[in-house]
Amino acid sequence: MELPFQTLQWVGGRPGHVSMIEQTLLPTQRVDHEVRDVLGMVDAIYRLAVRGAPAIGVAAAFGVMLGVQELRGLSPEETLGRTREIAATLAKARPTAVNLFWALDRMVARADREASAGADGDAIVVALFEEGHEIYREDRETCLRLGEVGAERISDGQTLLTHCNAGALATAGIGTALAPMYVAAHQGKRISVFADETRPLLQGARITAWELAQAGIDVTVITDNMAGHVMKSGKIDAVFVGSDRIARNGDVCNKIGTYSVAVLAKEHGIPFYVVAPLSTFDRELTDGSQIPIEERPEEEVAEGFGKRTAPVGAKVFNPAFDVTPAALVAGIVTEAGWIDRPNRERVEAVLREAGALTG
């Protein structure tokens, strides 16, 4: 299944560059942004030109490729050292989406393995290119699988609510939370979607509404404070959201406001589903309280619409994410299947089965 746009891609061979949709300009302008070096990629990730956990992971892998592509004739140790430095620089771009660190760890581990196996510096760079392209390819495949698994619980005629953007524009493929919607529509199910606007940066209104409309799916934008009213009126059959990081006990971190949506869904007896690849699970964290929450500049809240909306000097708090306790989650869709009523035992069982957890 193909959508009529490509969120990000590697262009050319070696040397090459990254082309991505400049998401800060959507929906009024559809412009491609070219990234040609590591600092350019850090900038693109920080200012949300590319955003969404899986897309950030792919962007980070491409960032490593940008950083090593001109290296020639170095020793394995020097190449490994440069790879580590580049990964450390990219790791500073944003703190919450674990896919960023997952992808960087995977790139460094590949370089390490090649060096240990006796590869010279140039062969390590070739291997890093292979690994980066593989991360991209896997993300596209995983999104399709998430879509197929998630669509099992979408029926013809249903109306779904989503928060932020966990669609194609948040991945290299057809998305996470929106993937089941695309697959359901492809299967001929008639669905409608309510997209929370998602203050302060409006990823729901600007990006989710844009991409669903591109795909011909019926979408209605509401401001975040309308979700309770819409649920109470009986309009919503299920909620589907993505995630930036999931702890081992099933606590789910996602865009600020997701927790409120989950509480409202519980109150109204509406299933609250999370769709995420296994790369979004953080095996190091026992619960959601350990997830680092990004805080962003106060202007995003106080001047978010291009004009001042709070008095100059007013204190502003701008956390970009929140954590929804596992108890509010009806099910998590992964490429390995559903984790219903997630808790530590069920999450760990799926991770272990997928080889993502040892011991």
Residues that bind ligand MRU (CB under 6 A): 48, 51-54, 97, 164, 166, 170-171, 176, 203, 242-244, 254-255, 320
Measured from the CB atom, is 67 or 95 closer to ligand MRU? Answer: 95
The DSSP call for residue 7 is S
Residue nearest to ligand MRU (CB): 242
**Least spacing, CB of residue 166 vs ligand MRU, in Å:** 4
Alpha carbon 92 to its chain centroid, in Å, reads: 17
Backbone φ, ψ for residue 19 (5° rounding): -115, 130
Local structure of residue 274 (DSSP, 8 states): E
Q: Measure Cα distances from 107 to 52, 58, 103, 232 in Å.
A: 19, 11, 6, 47
Smaller CB distance to ligand MRU: residue 176 or 192?
176
**Alpha-carbon gap, residue 141 to 190, rounded angstroms:** 24
Decide whether 197 or 244 has the Cβ nearer to ligand MRU.
Answer: 244
Parallel/antiparallel/unpaired status of strands 32-35 and 218-222? unpaired
What sign does the dihedral 219-337-252-228 (CA atoms) show? positive
Question: Which residue, 47 or 190, is less far from ligand MRU as judged by CB?
Answer: 47
- Cβ neighbors of 277 (< 8 A, separation 6 or more) are 54, 99, 139, 142, 143, 146, 176, 334, 335
Cβ closer to ligand MRU: 54 or 121?
54
Closest CB to ligand MRU among 33 and 51? Answer: 51
Residue 311 beta carbon to ligand MRU: minimum distance, rounded to whole angstroms: 26
Nearest to ligand MRU of 124, 333 (CB atom): 333
Q: How far is the CB of 210 from ligand MRU (least distance, A)?
A: 13
Which is catalytic among the residues 196, 244, 251, 322?
244
Instruction: Provide, rounded to whole angstroms, the least separation between the CB of residue 324 and ligand MRU.
Output: 12
Handedness of CA 292, 301, 175, 87 (dihedral sign): negative
Q: What's the closest the beta carbon of residue 53 comes to ligand MRU, in angstroms? A: 4
Q: Kindly calculate the radius of gyration of the chain based on its CA atoms and give it in whole angstroms.
A: 20
Rounded Cα gap, residues 78 and 58, in angstroms: 24
φ and ψ of 126, to 5 deg:
-60, -45
DSSP calls for 156-173: TT-EEEE-S--SGGGSSS
The residue type found at 225 is: N
251 among known catalytic residues: no
Sequential DSSP letters for 298-348 = THHHHSTTSS--S-TT-----BSEEEE-GGG-SEEEETTEEEES--HHHHH
Q: Give catalytic residues, as residue numbers.
A: 244
